[in-house]
Structure formats: structure tokens, C-alpha cells
A and B are shown apart, each in its own frame.
Chain A
Amino acid sequence: MGSIKFNHVYKNYRGESRPAVNDFHLTIEEGEFLVLVGPSGCGKSTTLRMLAGLEEISSGELYIDDKFVNYVSPKDRDIAMVFQNYALYPNLSVYENIALGLKLRKTAKFDIELRVNRVAKVLEISHLLDRKPSQLSGGQKQRVALGRAIAREPQVFLMDEPLSNLDAKLRAQTRAELIKLQADLKRTTVYVTHDQVEAMTMGTRIVVMKDGVIQQVAAPRELYDKPANLFVAGFIGSPQMNFIEGVVTLEEGRYYFTNKRLKLLLPREYDVQFERLTRSVRNVIMGVRPEHVLLKPGEADGEEYVAGVVQMTEVTGADSYVYAAIGDYKVIARTEPEISYRKDDVPAIGFNKGKLHFFDVTTGESLAAGGTEA
């Protein structure tokens, strides 16, 4: 019930040289909450629309429940979709909106009533059933759209940025409810968003896409801790990961990360990554998340800690972020809000050496992922 298989799926639009979706190959398990995330124009919505049957598949095969569905019309795929702008039928009441899908499937009248009322109760919209969509607030409309999808009890839920039209507070609240709802219903859900926070909090697995190509498929934690490439590392996490260019050198059997300002002795655990690099000049980009940039007041020792100049601070409440410059290199550090730095302070900046990421300069691939250089 509700497994989905994409077999090398492509979408080409006429007059565009680059495919909108390029070799999408993925199996979605039954009951999974899969999130497609990426910047706008990355092909995530197109992928979802192909799954819904609203967009033709240019090449490749799509299976729902091991059934080949490339040419099956949307209504016969046993899916329900929630749209960004809710797409409620403005001429029908809330009740009719939820009931329409059932009515068109020739469900018995008493059954329709039962199901609509049950769904309305779950979503707390029972008192709104007689209203027209134009009389609802954004959050209520969103619930009705959700109710319309749930009432049909389909195998697969498709959601195309359903929360992006809500204000921040309501979005967080609805997000939590959606997670709970999906856990209760245990239906396969494919969710599209451009918001990495949504992706991280909701998905059991996340697909990061860029320019129509899958960048990485992983569980949220893994995606955060082991980004496969520069794009994923930069896209997931806010503020984004710091990237510092440099060279890896080998001195007396130990690897160092060096550039104009830094010379970091790297722990042995990274050795295996660099041994794969056979080029003599080992240009890399070092990635380090803001929470792993260490700041301390006082003098830099020139080795573990280097001097940086504070350019700006940002206080969010629980954390504060310090934007500093080490020469030409800009870094963002997360610090305790109690320790306040002001512009032009010169703290010592160090790095949590267990939490560094290294990427190939030319390909952008993570060295930890392995196999970038033959």
C-alpha cells in the first residue's frame, strides 16, 4: 500500500535544453514522509506533479504500488494533493469541498456524511462546514484543503508547499499538526518545500534537489551531519555553513589545512579522506557549521586560535550569531547570548576539529563521501 518507485525519470520541456527533472531515481517506502527540498526552479514541484499525473513523464517509469502508472490519469492513481494556494472550490461550501471527491467516486451518501464529519472533527473545522471558502481565514482554508485530501483516504498524499501561505506562527503550529497527522494516518506522504526547516523537522527522509538533479537523499540528521556536497552543506542549516578555501598539506605524516591565515593540524580521523586525493596540490574547501566555530575573548595563539574581527552580531534570543572576518575569510559563529561581542572586537577564533567537512574545490563533492578522485 502506497510505495512509489521512480525509475530514471526525466522531464523535458520543449525549447529548453536542460531537463527540468534529470534522472530522478528513487524508491519511496510505504508510510514514509518524504520531503523534496531545493531552491525554486530545482524541479521538485515538477517531480510531484509527475507523480500526481498532472505533468507528463518525458522518459523513465513511475510505479505506485508496483503498478506502472505513467499513463494512468490522476483520478485513478489513488492520490490526493494539497496545493500551495489550497485550490478550494470557491463556489462550493466547505462540506461540499471535502465531499466532492467522494461524491465523484460514487460513495454512498451516508458514508460521505460520516467521513466528512469525522475528518472535520479531527481537523476542528466542524463549525465551518456550511461556509464558503471566501469566508475562511488562511489557516482554516489550509485545514479544509487538508480535509479534502484526508477524506478520500488515498494511498499517497502529495503536498506542494502547503504551509508557505501561512504566517510564521501558524506555520509552526500547522507543521506540528501535520507531523502528528501523518504519524496517525501512516500514509505515504510526499511533501515539497523550499524551506529547509520544514524539511528537517517533517521528513523521515529528505531529497535535496538542484537544477533537476538529486543532490542527496538522507534522513535529516545524516543530511545535516554528512552533507554529500557543497550545495547540500550550504542549503541545509541556518545560518549556513561557513566555507573556507585552503590547501591540505602533509608534514611529517600529519595533515594540515592551511591558507593565508590558518594552519590547522587535523585529527587523524580525516586522514583517510585525504589519502584518496592523489593530486599534488590538494585544494579543498573546509566547511564548518556556526555552532562549531569557537570564539573566546583574548589573544590568539596563532595555531589553534586565530585573531578575527567582529563585523556584526545578531541576537535571536536563544542564540546569538557573530559575523567575523579572519583576514579575507568570513565566518559566522554561534555563541552563548550571555557573552556579547561588539563590532571591531578582536576575539580568538577556533574550530571544533571533530566537526569539519572537506569538499573538493572543482567538483564540490564531499571528501567524506569518498571516491571523488580516482
Chain B
Amino acid sequence: MIRKLRRVTPFQVVLVTAFTALAAFMSIPIIFILNHAFKPQSELFLFPPRIFVQDPSFRNFEILLLHASNAAVPFTRYLFNSIVVVGLTLVGVIVVSTMAAYVIAKYRFHFKGLIMGMITLSLMFAPETVSIPRYLIISGLHINDTYFGHILPALASPVAVFMLIGFISQIPNELLEAAKIDGASQLGIFTKMVLPLSIPAIATISILTFQGAWGDVEPSTLFMQSETMRTLAFYVNSLISGLQNSVAGQNMAAAAGLLMFIPNLIIFLLFQKRVMETMVHSGIK
């Protein structure tokens, strides 16, 4: 029996080879960023360019931090802003989206179709098209130059709501009814049943939201006037764009690129594991 299972068909060989090749290809940018950040100035401009670093050094990071410490606003302030904004955005998006999705997935009410339609429709807009309306709302609410200005535009996340609706509607109604009969309140059903059961989906939207919020420069560029309210993404972005044609700053750009990338990687690995775990152990079919 076991021997039978282990028998490898030619199709499987092709499949595994193809996917391995694809995975290797997809990991090139990651490998490149990792190596690039540690390349000394001389290696950065080698021709033909090399992917792997020959003589790794932390020199790039030193230069970056040195540069940052000379700036009007300290590097740590940007970092702090980013952590606050990303943290609050993550919490906010999870709270708003799960609640919205739960209600849409499990309740009947007036204009539900219309609301669903609007959420679907808003999926189609490119972020650039809503920049101006967003600006008008932010300035109308007088929350520019505050953390709310960063967070509010990100709270309405149609992708997250959409994914969660799909996920939550798969939770059997009987489960929620059983909880209702057992004496759980509406909030109790939501926090004790719906939230724990949606963890795989919440992990997924957390990855997406984190990546979006961490790399987003729009609020910093458009809604923030004072430099102290801007985020790390903005700092790195302006640094890199300022260095576009200069040879001197490329090492800083390489180091900054890695710094921006690492949190993404960590979050992804962290939540990815959780996604897998919950998928395996949840017992929901």
C-alpha cells in the first residue's frame, strides 16, 4: 500500500520540476535584495552585475544611518510613525472588516444587495482615482497631520471585507444558532465563534493590509504637512527617488530597500504559518 503511494508518475516529476523552477525564479528578487544590501560600493556597480555578494559588509547601513541622523527628523521618528500607523491600521481593518463581513454574510437586512454591490464596485477602482476624494474628506474632517489621517483611508478595505464574507458565510448557521440557544449574546457569538473561526482569513488579510500600509506613501505625501508625521516608507521613497541618478547614494538605497522589505517577510512568515495551522486543525470542512 505504502509502496503504491510512493510510486512517482512522470506527470508528478514534470510538475515538481516545473514548480521548483518557478519557485526559484520567484525568489530571485528576494535573494537579490538580501545580497544587494551587503555589497560594498565597488560591487554595486560591477558589470556584468552579480546576484551574490562577494565581500559582504555593513557599510551600507552605516552610511544610511549616518545620513538619517543628519536629517531634520530622526530616522527613529519615521520608524515610530510607521509602527503606530501600521499597528492601528491592522487592528482597525480587522475590526471593521470582520464586523462588516459577518453582518453581510449572516444577516438579512434592507439594502444588503446594494451595499454588497458597492463593496464589489469599489474593488475596481485604482487607488490613484480616489486620491482626490480622499484628500477632500481628510481635510474636511480636519484630520490632516494626525495619525487618523493615515488610518482612516485604509479602514475601508473592500478586499478584506470581500474575502471575509466568503469565509464567514462558510461557517454553518447551526453553529451560531447553537451558541444563541446556549445563551451567547450577539457580541459573544461574534467574538467567541466568528472571530476564532475566521482566523485563517484574518491572517490572510493581515498580510495584505500590512504590506499595503507599510509601503503606502500616499497619506504621508498628500495628507501630512509636517515632516514629523510622515512614515518610514515616505522617507525611504524620497531617499531613493532623490538618488535616482546619483552614484553616491546607491549603497544607502540598497540598505533601505532591505530594511523596508524585512518586516514584510517576517509578517508573511508569521501569519503564513498561522494560516496553515488553522487550516489543518480547524476541523471545518
Contacts and interface: CB of A to CB of B under 8 A. Distances in A.
Interface residues of B, number: 20
Interface string A77-96: 00111011101011100000
Given A83-B174, A134-B281, A89 B181 contact: no
Nearest to B195: A91
Contacts of A79: 181
Interface magnitude class on chain A: 20 to 34
Given A90-B283, A132-B283, A85 B183 contact: no
Given A52-B181, A104-B182, A104-B188, A85 B281 contact: no
A87 B197 CA distance: 13
A91 B191 CA distance: 12
A344 to B, nearest CB: 48
Given A90-B283, A104-B188, A75 B174 contact: no
A133 B179 CA distance: 15
Contacts of B184: 75, 100, 104
Contact of A87 (B174, B192, B196, B282): B174
Given A87-B172, A87-B174, A104-B188, A134 B180 contact: no
B181 A91 contact: no
A74 interface: yes
B177 interface: yes
B282 A89 contact: no
22 contacts: A54-B181, A75-B180, A75-B181, A75-B182, A75-B184, A83-B174, A84-B174, A87-B174, A87-B175, A89-B178, A89-B192, A89-B193, A90-B175, A90-B197, A100-B179, A100-B182, A104-B183, A104-B184, A105-B183, A132-B283, A134-B281, A134-B282
A364 interface: no
A7 to B, nearest CB: 23
A101 interface: yes
A210 B201 CA distance: 42
Nearest to A99: B182
Interface of B: 172, 174-175, 177-184, 188, 192-193, 196-197, 281-284
A91 B188 contact: no
B194 to A, nearest CB: 10
Contacts of A74: 177, 180-181
A52 B181 CA distance: 8
A54 B177 contact: yes
Contacts of A91: 193, 196-197, 282
A152 B181 CA distance: 11
A79 B181 CA distance: 7
B181 A80 contact: yes
Interface in A93-128: 100-101, 104-105
A227 B174 CA distance: 34
Nearest to B171: A90
A157 to B, nearest CB: 11
B172 A85 contact: yes
Given A87-B178, A90-B283, A101-B182, 16 more contacts: A52-B181, A54-B180, A75-B181, A75-B182, A80-B181, A85-B172, A87-B175, A89-B175, A89-B179, A90-B284, A91-B193, A91-B196, A91-B282, A133-B283, A148-B182, A152-B182
Contacts of A134: 281-283
Contacts of B282: 90-91, 134
A101 B177 contact: no
Nearest to A91: B196
Interface centre among B175, B183, B197, B284 (most CB of A within 10 A): B183
Contacts of A135: 283
Nearest to A100: B182
A30 B284 CA distance: 37
B108 to A, nearest CB: 10
Contacts of B181: 52-54, 74-75, 79-81, 101
Contacts of B180: 54, 73-75
A79 B179 CA distance: 12
Interface string A53-66: 11000000000000
Contacts of B174: 83-85, 87
A297 B69 CA distance: 110
Nearest to B282: A90
A138 to B, nearest CB: 13
Interface centre among A85, A104, A105, A152 (most CB of B within 10 A): A104
